[in-house]
């Protein structure tokens, strides 16, 4: 009913079993391959869940620290993407809980302010088209960022990470039906807030 | 008024389309590179361990406790101040972390001079260039800096390195470096010209300047990195810089020479430094005879 999640397009970038075995042994070349294949995805998930650059960088750093520490527990027969998504979600959850996070939200100093950047591929388009795409991306990011954390998490994990509702249920510790309900509520809220983009 | 179910389903499908059409947020390349280096080398764990050490005194405090059924060790001799020596371990670890964290920090970026009037862009925000106190602090974490035509910005990081950001330059400056670890400096030049001069406290460090065409490794020198449309030109006035398209292609470029890298990856050009670039570097050296305040 809700279509193919976009994350499934990443399947071609999966690491081989041999590469994952080398990651388990903390072989530096294999760690580099894992980093190169997974960094953008981890950062994007952290950024979409936390909503700002500084928090996303902190979370991404935490995730790769945890990956390094527990590399030996990696199952080489399984795609590490859901494992990484779980670690990223847990790191975001820890951050949401922290008092420091609430204090940071009150004031955003200049060195932590999100930097406006043109989206990937923008350079290939006309300036007007690039600007329009950037504005649309910002609108979408703001609307997603305004969702309650419980709804945002489910929406981001499904739409951008490509995880099935059953996998999300495992990550967030809910039943699948609850995840589906949250996903529907998230879409309903976005339907209202992005009304003008849907025409 | 209620909407028809089909209408709602169509709108939800459209929401999904809009979501999926939006681009992934772009990370800061400098952050990515720093994290990659720390992750691949394993340094990420040692740094975290140093940061976490004082947060776990309980582990050490409990170490002397006796568990039911556990083998009892011979009583340890009292150490300094009548306390067993290992009880001081958390204190020593905390002290080491404090020293590493605070005393280990290198000098901040300092604005030496701003020539011209107007705004510069720091981390994506336009700020009055003349009011350095409003933006200089933002440089310590490594920041994108765009200096418009007609303006020049001179910066110095203690006795380590001085840079001049020339008019019309878009650069990411290296973050504030540390004294004892993570001493490497990494900058990116996306357009324009950056003059770099290393200082008396630089030895033992390395500065990498990346451009879309390649990289320059600086270990003690005075160079200019010019990024133009489709090329990068590195001119060396003093010392030696290593310049190339990437690992395996790094050539030493001695004083008085320049190396040009091209976006289409044709063979790099190694030639004598052009007179106007040499003049620009000499002028920088003469104007800032002692930019490090020694």
Q: Which of B168, B170, B210 is nearest to B188 (CA)?
A: B210
Could B23 and A120 be called an inter-chain contact, meaning their C-beta atoms sit closer than 8 Å? Answer: yes
Cα distance from B229 to chain A (closest Cα, Å)? Answer: 14
B18 belongs to a structural domain: no
- pLDDT reported for residue A6: 37
Question: Over pLDDT 90: what percentage of chain B?
Answer: 27
Contact call for A2 and B16, based on CB within 8 A: yes
- Domain-embedded: residue B15: no
Q: What b/e sequence results for B117-126 when a residue is b if at least 16 CB atoms lie within 10 Å of its CB, and e otherwise?
A: eeebbbbebe
B138 neighbors B108 (Cβ within 8 angstroms): no
Regarding whether B88 and B220 lie in a shared domain, the answer is no
Do residue A140 and residue B18 have CB atoms under 8 angstroms apart?
A: yes
| Residues in chain A within 8 Å Cβ distance of B21 | 136
Do B213 and B269 lie in one domain? The reply is: yes
Q: Which domains does chain A have, with CATH numbers?
A: 15-106 (1.10.1740.10), 127-194 (1.10.10.10)
Contact (CB<8Å) B27/A144:
no
In the predicted structure, residue B231 carries a pLDDT above the cut 90: yes
Selection from A156, A154, A145 nearest residue A42 by Cα = A156
pLDDT at A127: 66
Mean pLDDT, residues B143-155 taken together: 91
pLDDT in tens, chain A (199 residues): 444 343 334 444 578 888 899 998 889 999 999 999 999 999 999 999 988 888 888 899 999 999 998 888 888 888 888 889 989 998 888 887 764 545 544 444 444 444 444 445 544 556 667 777 778 888 888 889 889 888 999 999 998 888 889 889 988 888 989 999 999 999 999 988 888 777 7
Output the CA–CA distances (angstroms, integers) from residue B31 to B34, B171, B185, B192, in the order listed: 5, 14, 12, 22
Residues B88 and B153 in one domain: no
Same domain, B139 and B260: yes
Nearest by CB to B42, from A48, A53, A68: name it. A68
pLDDT score at B127: 87
Query: Residue B23: inside a domain, yes or no?
Result: no
Are B85 and B136 within one domain?
Answer: no
Chain A hits for B11, Cβ within 8 Å: 191, 198
SS3 B196: strand
Grade residue B188 by pLDDT with cuts at 50, 70 and 90: very high
Is some CB atom of chain A closer than 8 A to the CB atom of B103? no
Q: Would the CB atoms of B45 and A69 count as touching at under 8 Å? A: yes
Q: What confidence score (pLDDT) does residue A46 get?
A: 93
Who wins on pLDDT, B81 or B202?
A: B202
What's the confidence (pLDDT) of residue A126?
Answer: 65
- What is the structure's pLDDT at A12? 40
Please report residues of A whose CB lies closer than 8 A to that of B135. Answer: 110
Of the partner residues A69, A159, A194, the one whose CB lies closest to the CB of residue B20: A159
CB atoms within 10 A of CB B215: 22
> Per the domain annotation, does B33 fall within a domain?
yes
Report the pLDDT averaged over residues B12-19.
Answer: 85
How would residue B102 be classed by pLDDT, with cut points 50, 70 and 90?
Answer: low
Give me the pLDDT at residue B90, please: 78
Same domain, B113 and B201: yes
CATH of the domain at B188: 2.60.120.1440
Residue B149 has pLDDT above 60, yes or no: yes
pLDDT of B181: 59
Contact B26 A140 (CB under 8 A): no
Interface of B with A in 134-173 (CB under 8 A): 134-135, 137-141, 143-144
Q: CA of B252: how far to CAs of B221, B228, B277, in Å?
A: 12, 22, 19
- Pair B113, B98 in one domain: no
What integer pLDDT is reported at residue A182 of this predicted model?
Answer: 92
Residues B241 and B268 occupy one common structural domain: yes
Is residue B168, in this structure, part of any structural domain at all?
yes
Instruction: Please determine, for residue B226, whether its predicted confidence score (pLDDT) is greater than 90.
Output: yes
Q: Give the angle subtended at the CA of B163 by the CAs of B178 and A117, to the nearest 5°.
A: 85
Provide the number of CB pairs (under 8 Å) joining chain A to chain B. Answer: 124
Indicate the pLDDT class of residue B4, thresholds 50, 70 and 90.
low
Shared-domain flag, residues B121 and B184: yes
Q: Which domain holds residue B36?
A: 29-65+76-103
Tell me whether residue B209 is in a domain: yes
- B260 and B243 part of one domain: yes
**Among A36-45, B105-114, B234-243, whose mean pLDDT is lowest?**
B105-114
CA dist B197 → A21, A50, A164 (Å) = 45, 39, 54
Enumerate the residues of chain A whose CB falls inside 8 A of the CB of residue B230: none
Q: Considering only A71-85, A166-180, B95-109, B257-271, which range has the smallest mean pLDDT?
A: B95-109
CB B213 within 8 A of CB B261: yes
Of B20, B22, B28, the CB nearest to A136: B22
Split into its structural domains, chain B has a count of: 2
Judge whether A17 and A77 are in contact, CB under 8 Å: yes
Q: What is the pLDDT of residue B279?
A: 83
Does residue B2 lie in a domain region? no
Residues B202 and B139 in one domain: yes
Residues of B in Cβ contact (< 8 Å) with A198:
11, 14-15, 18
Q: Is the pLDDT of residue B185 over 80?
A: yes
**Cα angle B34-B104-B37, degrees, rounded to a multiple of 5:** 15
Q: Is residue B261's pLDDT more than 70?
A: yes
Q: What are the beta bridge partners of residue B113?
A: B154
Q: Of B77, B55, B54, B73, whose CA–CA distance to B63 is shortest?
A: B73
State CA A74 to chain mean position distance: 20
Per-residue pLDDT of B118-142, as tens digits, reads 889 998 888 888 888 888 888 877 8
Kindly state whether residues B246 and B224 are assigned to the same domain: yes
Q: Is B72's pLDDT higher than 70?
A: no
Flag whether B258 is in a domain: yes
Chain B residues closer than 8 Å to A133 by CB:
23
Which pLDDT value is given to residue B289?
53
pLDDT at B145 (0 to 100): 92
Distance from CA of A43 to the nearest CA of B (A): 7
Higher pLDDT, B100 or B129: B129
Asked if pLDDT for residue B48 goes beyond 70, the answer is yes
């Amino acid at each position: 009913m809700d279509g193919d999640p976009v994350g499934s397009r990443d399947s071609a970038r999966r690491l081989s079993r041999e590469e994952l075995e080398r990651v388990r042994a903390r072989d530096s070349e294999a760690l580099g391959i894992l980093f190169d294949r997974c960094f953008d995805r981890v950062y994007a998930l952290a950024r979409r869940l936390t909503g700002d650059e500084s928090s996303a960088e902190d979370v991404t750093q935490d995730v790769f620290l945890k990956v390094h520490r527990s590399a030996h527990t990696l199952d080489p027969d399984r795609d590490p993407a859901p494992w990484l998504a779980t670690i990223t979600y847990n790191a975001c959850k820890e951050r949401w809980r922290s008092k420091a996070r609430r204090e940071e939200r009150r004031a955003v100093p200049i060195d932590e302010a999100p930097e406006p950047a043109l989206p990937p591929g923008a350079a290939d388009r006309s300036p007007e088209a690039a600007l329009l795409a950037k504005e649309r991306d910002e609108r979408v990011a703001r609307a997603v960022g305004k969702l309650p954390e419980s709804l945002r998490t489910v929406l981001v994990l499904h739409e951008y990470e490509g995880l099935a509702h059953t996998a999300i249920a495992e990550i967030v510790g809910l039943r699948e039906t609850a995840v589906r309900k949250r996903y529907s509520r998230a879409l309903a809220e976005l339907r209202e807030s992005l009304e003008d983009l849907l025409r | 008024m209620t909407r028809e179910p089909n209408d709602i389903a169509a709108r939800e499908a459209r929401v999904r389309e809009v979501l999926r059409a939006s681009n992934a947020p772009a990370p800061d390349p400098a952050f990515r590179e720093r994290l990659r280096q720390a992750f691949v080398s394993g340094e990420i764990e040692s740094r975290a361990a140093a940061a976490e050490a004082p947060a776990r005194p309980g582990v050490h405090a409990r170490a002397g406790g006796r568990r039911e059924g556990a083998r009892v060790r011979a009583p340890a001799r009292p150490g300094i101040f009548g306390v067993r020596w290992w009880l001081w371990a958390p204190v020593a670890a905390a002290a080491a972390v404090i020293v590493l964290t605070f005393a280990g920090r290198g000098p901040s970026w300092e604005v030496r001079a701003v020539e011209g009037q107007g705004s510069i862009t720091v981390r994506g925000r336009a700020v009055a260039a003349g009011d350095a106190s409003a933006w200089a602090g933002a440089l310590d974490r490594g920041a994108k800096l765009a200096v418009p035509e007609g303006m020049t910005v001179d910066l110095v990081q203690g006795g380590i390195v001085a840079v001049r950001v020339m008019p019309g330059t878009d650069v990411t400056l290296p973050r504030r470096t540390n004294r004892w670890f993570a001493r490497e400096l990494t900058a990116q030049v996306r357009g324009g010209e950056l003059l770099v001069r290393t200082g008396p406290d630089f030895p033992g460090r390395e500065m990498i300047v990346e451009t879309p065409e390649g990289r320059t490794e600086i270990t003690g020198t005075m160079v200019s990195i010019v990024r133009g449309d489709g090329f990068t030109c590195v001119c060396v006035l003093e010392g030696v810089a290593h310049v190339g398209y990437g690992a395996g292609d790094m050539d030493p470029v001695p004083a008085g020479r320049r190396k040009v890298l091209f976006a289409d990856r044709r063979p790099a050009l190694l030639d004598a430094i052009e007179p106007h670039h040499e003049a620009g570097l000499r002028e920088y050296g003469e104007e800032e005879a002692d930019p490090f305040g020694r």
